């Protein structure tokens, strides 16, 4: 069953965490059962869901290191609408520790085997690097969502991400596919943003989501209140954009799965 998606781009600050948290919330709003996995040692997705990183016993670190079962790390925060496998800075150590372990690229996939069928969608927030953690996310996933901020250097680095995806596909996970590239923090008044957007469509055509996430201050404020934007300000442009993305995402999935 293919229902795991990595939200990745090795550039920092492009909207990975914002997209993971808010797409999870929007899919849940559509009645789907969703798990969000925080695989970035910075733990922004964890705190963005109102969880205290210092208060976590079992995290994605223990899962990756096979010290805890996935089911024993998953939390259902009250009122959030979806489940969370949180993380904290312990996960930083996993990068190094994984290097000495057998099947190191398959740890997350193996750990999720018994959990994945409980969910309609599992979304993984990746760190800003093409590290062993990101590779674990790619090996576990059916699809990849790539948030892209349409600015001058947006396309730089994209080719090494695509190469990594291709390599994982050939060596470890033949079903892996790019689900879509997502334009984030978009400002339609900005000429450069429009230019980069056109380049993306020329290059990737229908791999670019029609839904566009605008720059919206409510999206930036919501995490400091520990909630997705839907809970923070339902009527905001950010909420509406992520609901539209969720709807498009589900349609694409249906199509991809026949
Ligand atoms: N659409 C948006 N509008 C306004 N601010 C945004 C938007 N998306 C993300 N941000 C803000 O930009 C910063 C980087 O976003 P984030 O999702 O953390 O990126 P990443 O996970 O790729 O590092 C955060 O402060 C976030 O709140
Ligand atoms: Mg992040």
DSSP string, 167-220: HHHHHT-TT-EEEEEEEEEE-TT-HHHHHHHHHHHHHHGGGEEEEEEE--HHHH
- Minimum mean pLDDT among 100-109, 164-173, 237-246: which range? 100-109
pLDDT for residue 234 is more than 90 = yes
Tell which atom from ligand 1 comes closest to the C-alpha of 185.
1
Q: Is the CB of 169 under 6 A from ligand 1?
A: no
- How many folded domains does the chain comprise? 1
Q: What distance in Å separates the CA atoms of residue 186 and residue 190, rounded to the nearest whole number? A: 8
The per-residue pLDDT for 1 is 47
Domain containing 91 — which CATH number?
3.40.50.300
**Residue 17 CA, ligand 1 centroid: distance in Å:** 7
Q: Is the pLDDT of residue 33 over 90?
A: yes
Q: Which ligand is nearest to the CA of 127?
A: 2
Task: Give 7's contacts (C-beta < 8 A, 6+ positions apart).
Answer: 16, 19, 20, 23, 123, 124, 125, 126, 144, 145, 146, 147
> The domain containing residue 184 runs over which residues?
4-256
Average pLDDT, the chain: 95
The response to whether residue 18 sits with its C-beta less than 6 Å from ligand 1 reads yes
pLDDT of residue 96: 87
Indicate the SS3 state at residue 40.
Answer: coil
pLDDT of residue 257: 79
- What pLDDT score was predicted for residue 2? 61
What confidence score (pLDDT) does residue 95 get? 86
Compute the 3-state secondary structure of the chain and give helix, strand, coil in percent, each to the nearest 5.
Answer: 45, 15, 35
Nearest listed ligand to the Cα of residue 223: 1
pTM tops 0.95 = yes
Q: What is the mean pLDDT of residues 162-182?
A: 96
**CA 138 to CA 7: how far, in whole Å?**
9
Q: Which residues on adjacent β-strands are paired with residue 181? A: 146, 208
What pLDDT score was predicted for residue 103?
85
What confidence score (pLDDT) does residue 44 get?
97
As given in the structure block, the two tokens for residue 130 are 């093409």
């Amino acid at each position: 069953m293919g229902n795991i998606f990595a939200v990745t781009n090795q550039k920092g600050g492009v909207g990975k965490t914002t997209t993971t948290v808010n797409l999870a919330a929007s899919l849940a709003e559509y009645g789907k059962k969703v798990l969000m996995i925080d695989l970035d040692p910075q733990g922004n997705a964890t705190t963005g869901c109102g969880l205290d990183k210092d208060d976590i016993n079992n995290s994605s670190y223990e899962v990756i290191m096979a010290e805890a079962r996935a089911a024993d790390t998953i939390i259902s925060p009250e009122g959030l609408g979806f489940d969370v496998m949180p993380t904290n800075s312990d996960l930083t150590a996993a990068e190094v520790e994984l290097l000495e372990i057998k099947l190191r690229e398959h740890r997350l996939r193996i750990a999720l085997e018994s959990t994945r069928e409980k969910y309609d969608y599992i979304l993984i927030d990746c760190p800003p690097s093409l590290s062993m953690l990101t590779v674990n996310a790619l090996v576990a996933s059916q699809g990849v969502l790539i948030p892209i901020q349409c600015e001058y250097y947006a396309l730089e680095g994209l080719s090494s991400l695509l190469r990594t995806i291709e390599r994982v596909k050939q060596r470890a996970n033949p079903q892996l596919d790019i689900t879509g590239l997502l334009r984030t923090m978009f400002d339609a008044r900005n000429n450069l943003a429009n230019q980069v957007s056109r380049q993306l469509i020329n290059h990737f055509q229908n791999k670019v989501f029609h839904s566009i996430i605008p720059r919206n201050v409510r999206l930036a404020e919501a995490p400091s209140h520990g909630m997705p934007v839907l809970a923070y300000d339902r009527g905001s442009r950010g909420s509406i954009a992520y609901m539209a993305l969720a709807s498009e995402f589900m349609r694409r999935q249906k199509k991809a799965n026949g």
